[in-house]
Amino acid sequence: MRNALCRDLTGSFVGCDAAPTRATCSFHDRSRDLRAGDVLQLEVELMDGEWMPLFHRCADHAVDAFPEAHTVFGTPQALVTTYLEPTGAYLPGTNEFHPDALTVGEVEVVDVSAVDEGLRSPLWDWMDE
């Protein structure tokens, strides 16, 4: 899983169509821009065969393990660290190529929340009856 995760995330666009040369941290009260060369930690989830970002973390909000409060039972999730690179990407909303758009650089897997380890829904035991 780790090799596929690293391969799938490397080169992924992490900005937004309106500002493709910057990314933001999900844990700031006010917007804080991250730029090329900055460390970015991502919480990602495997959905329909594709790793999708859940949260972006700047260096100040990085954690050592996948947050228990964010794990979901039955869904593979991971916490990875990377540096932002201005390698260019096709913007999801417009499908236009932006040559300096921020993407995920080399990926280091910090922690994994496996399918059978996440939090169970409070309804889980009720559903088995």
Give the whole-angstrom CA distance, residue 66 versus residue 82.
Answer: 15
Q: What is the mean pLDDT of residues 4-18?
A: 89
Domain boundaries, the chain: 2-115
DSSP labels, 3-23: HHHHHHHTT-B-SBTTBTT-E
pLDDT of 87 > 90? The answer is yes
Q: What is the pTM of this model?
A: 0.83
Torsion angle of the four alpha carbons 62, 70, 81, 29, in this order, in degrees rounded to the nearest 10: -40
Distance of CA 54 to the CA centre of its chain: 5
Instruction: Report the distance separating Cα 8 and Cα 34, nearest Å.
Output: 22
Q: What is the mean pLDDT of the chain?
A: 86
